[in-house]
Amino acid sequence: MNSSDKFDLRSNLKRYSVEFLVIFLSITLSFFAENLREDASNREIEQEALLRLSRDVAADLRAFPGNLDRTVIGLDAIRWLSMQEVGDLPSADSVEHYLERYWTCSTTDASKSEFESLKSSGNLRLLQDSGLASQLAANYENYDTLEFYHRKDCDLIAEVISLISNEITVRSSGFGADITVSGSLVRIFSNEEFRIALASHNGMRMVILREVRKSIRALTQLSANLPQPDSE
């Protein structure tokens, strides 16, 4: 191989190396730019999702204290009714008042559409704060428990009241009822089935009280960790 051929070979190798390097850098930079665009898009999706979650949490924080209050009212009514003795009966008006308070129950109309959407779409993985993602999952899993207990609570009211249905008249009134004692107070409070059922329902409502308080604590913590909508 003469010197001219050697020069051409070195020249070609150099040119090919430069071309390869240019192509390699172009592809690498293209991937890098695409990753940057994808990351920016994911961060935008994440921020929008966090703001929607914040709105959902705020709505639930406004609603759940009402559930807590109704549960306390229902528990107070059970305690009062359970304390009455046949030998020293209260007035019919008082019994009607506490039976109507006993009728109080709640539904869990929780705002969980955004979390369910994130979970079903796989976008829950976009939340960079793994601790926050775990808090969200735990909170919304507890909603399923609450929904079950609230449904059971409302169903139990009808079952318990049916035990004294011969002694009272019930007229539905929105989420509650207007109750009139139309029979014997003695038969109401000497009804052992009714008393046992009240005691059992008391246990159910104590569980609901615990779960609602747990949800309010979780929602309060989530609210502190989520961006506020008015900061957009």
Q: Determine the pLDDT at residue 14.
A: 66
Banded pLDDT at 232 (limits 50, 70, 90): very low
The 10s digit of each residue's pLDDT in 8-36 is 556 656 666 666 667 777 777 667 666 66
Could you tell me if 81 and 184 are in contact, meaning their C-beta atoms sit under 8 angstroms apart? no
Cα–Cα distances (Å) from 181 to 70, 75, 206, in that order, read 23, 21, 27
- Supply the pLDDT for residue 118: 85
DSSP states of 17-64:
HHHHHHHHHHHHHHHHHHHHHHHHHHHHHHHHHHHHHHHHHHHHHHHH
Partners of 104 in the beta sheet? none
Q: Where along the chain do its domains lie? A: 3-231
Q: What is the pLDDT of residues 155-206, one digit of tens each?
A: 999 999 999 999 999 987 766 789 999 999 999 999 999 999 999 999 999 9
Q: Per-residue confidence at 221, pLDDT binned at 50, 70, 90?
A: very high
In the chain, the percentage of residues whose pLDDT exceeds 70 is 83
Mean pLDDT along residues 209-231: 87
pLDDT score, position 144 = 85
Which residue, 150, 154, 162, is CA-closest to 194? Answer: 162
Least trusted range by pLDDT, from 50-59, 102-111, 202-211 = 102-111
pLDDT, averaged across the chain: 85
Average pLDDT over residues 113-142: 86
Buried b (16+ CB within 10 A) or exposed e, 168-183: bebeeeeeebebebee
Helix (H) or strand (E) holding 201: helix 192-225
| pLDDT above 90: residue 141 | no
Question: Other CB atoms closer than 10 Å to residue 114's CB: what's the count?
Answer: 20
Residue that wins the pLDDT comparison between 219 and 4 = 219
CB 157 within 8 A of CB 106: no
Residue length, the chain? 232
211's tokens: 């779960």
Which backbone phi and psi does 226 adopt, to 5 degrees?
-105, 150
| Other CB atoms within 10 Å distance of the CB of residue 219 | 22
- The DSSP letter of residue 228 is P
Alpha-carbon span 11 to 207, nearest angstrom: 83
Query: Containing H/E element for 181?
Result: strand 176-181
